[in-house]
Structures are given as C-alpha cells and as structure tokens.
Chains A and B, each alone.
Chain A
Amino acid sequence: NAGVTQTPKFRVLKTGQSMTLLCAQDMNHEYMYWYRQDPGMGLRLIHYSVGEGTTAKGEVPDGYNVSRLKKQNFLLGLESAAPSQTSVYFCASSYSIFNSVNTEAFFGQGTRLTVV
C-alpha cells in the first residue's frame, strides 16, 4: 500500500538553486495538495490541483510553481531557492475536494528541505 509517496525525503540547496519535489499517489485521487510545515506556523497550503492539467494557488504560493501533467503526479518546483523556503513539505491527496463533508486527506511522509 504505497498511498502518497514523496521524492526526495531530504535535500540541501544553496540559495538560488532550483529543484523539483515529486509527489505520486496510487489511489486514483482527483485532488492533490502541497503544504509546508514550519515551527510555530502549522501547515499551510502552497498550491493544489483539482484534476489532471489543473493547478491553483493556496495560502502561500509565492516562490513556488506546480504542475499536474499526470493524474497520479503533482510536482512542486522552486526556481530560485531562498533560505525562507527552508521547511518540511508535505503532499496530500483526496478523493474529492475538502469542501465535501466526507473527504479524508492522505499525506506523504514529507520532504525536509534546507536552503543555505
């Protein structure tokens, strides 16, 4: 039971470098999300997707881009990493969007990113 898988699990970047985080889910979920978790801030929504080929901005989208070329994959890109993007990034997926009363969210294991 793979569920939601994130790659990589750890990464250290230098300021200005770029990278892509990959999220893959095998539950045939339409909806996928990227969150970041920071000490004292809780989890905050970066971007989300309501289906293949769609993306939308969440609460803290600046400095990130996303793509959903395949239903099972959701990519989060950092074009020019900054120390403020040091965080733990979580991907999640759900069968329907969170405004459905019975929607359960499934999360990946997280990617710990450090930008120096």
Chain B
Amino acid sequence: KQEVTQIPAALSVPEGENLVLNCSFTDSAIYNLQWFRQDPGKGLTSLLLIQSSQREQTSGRLNASLDKSSGRSTLYIAASQPGDSATYLCAVSANYGGSQGNLIFGKGTKLSVKP
C-alpha cells in the first residue's frame, strides 16, 4: 500500500528564513511527485512536478528534490515571506486504489511565516 507522510505537520518560522519541508512515500514505484500549495478555503495550486527519472525541479525560490530509491522528497523554500504561509501538500502518482494512475496525497505541512 502506498502511503505518503509529511513532516512536520506544522511549521512556524520568521520571515527571511530558509526552510525545508519533508515528504516520504512507502513504495518507490511512482510515476511522478508533485508539490501543491493550498490556501485556506481555496483549491490546490501545483507548484512543482518531478518526474520519476528526475532528481530535482526549481521554480523561483522553490526547489524540490526527489530520491525515489529512499522514498523521499524535500521542498526547499528560500528566503521565506509571509505570503508563503499556506498548507503544502505532497502527492505521488502511482497505481493505487483500483485506478491506473492515482494521486496519493500526504496530509500536508501547514506553514506560517511571521513578519
């Protein structure tokens, strides 16, 4: 069974700090891994997608890495800003739940960046 775990569940940091969010998954047979951002009462916004053959992806101040063999991904946020405050979700694409290609989500890390 594919399970996705995100640690920590919540994180509070002062503005300007660099931070790392962690995601782990139990089965390395994934197609890709995606990081999403969710603002309160809003939908999910895709931040980065890492294909299973890739090691990392970068977008602006965000950098995501993938180590498929160890079942780990990290999302690095540089120079954090209050506007980065949101819940960050990690999801892996895998054959699971009776469907060919399902997104299995972690429970998220709630980030708060204090001014």
| B98 CB, nearest partner CB in chain A, Å | 6
A98 to B102, CA, bound (A): 6
Chain B CB within 10 Å, residue with most, of A92, A101, A109, A112: A101
CB-based contact B34/A97 at 8 Å: no
Q: List 24 A-B contacts (CB under 8 A).
A: A4-B43, A33-B103, A42-B89, A42-B107, A43-B89, A43-B103, A45-B99, A56-B99, A59-B97, A90-B44, A98-B93, A98-B101, A98-B102, A99-B93, A99-B100, A100-B101, A101-B93, A102-B32, A103-B49, A103-B101, A105-B44, A105-B103, A107-B36, A107-B44
Q: Which residues of A contact B100 (CB under 8 A)?
A: 97, 99
| A99 CB, nearest partner CB in chain B, Å | 3
Known: A58-B99, A59-B102, A98-B102. 12 other contacts (CB 8 A): A40-B107, A41-B107, A42-B105, A44-B97, A59-B99, A97-B101, A98-B101, A102-B49, A103-B31, A105-B34, A106-B46, A108-B43
Proximity bits, B74-114, A CB within 8 Å = 1, else 0:
00000000000000010101111111111101111000000
The answer to whether the Cβ of B52 comes within 8 Å of any Cβ in the partner chain is: yes
The answer to whether the Cβ of B51 comes within 8 Å of any Cβ in the partner chain is: yes
Chain B interface main SS type: strand
Residue of B nearest to A40 (CB): B107
Q: Which residues of B contact A41 (CB under 8 A)?
A: 107
B residues near A (Cβ < 8 Å) are 4, 31-32, 34, 36, 41-46, 49, 51-53, 89, 91, 93-103, 105-108
A110 to B44, CA, bound (A): 9
A45 to B95, CA, bound (A): 12
CB-based contact A45/B46 at 8 Å: no
Q: Which residues of B contact A74 (CB under 8 A)?
A: none
Q: Which residues of A contact B49 (CB under 8 A)?
A: 102-104
CB-based contact A102/B51 at 8 Å: yes
Residue of B nearest to A97 (CB): B101
CB-based contact A99/B43 at 8 Å: no
A102 to B46, CA, bound (A): 13
Q: Which residues of A contact B44 (CB under 8 A)?
A: 90, 92, 105, 107
CB-based contact A101/B107 at 8 Å: no
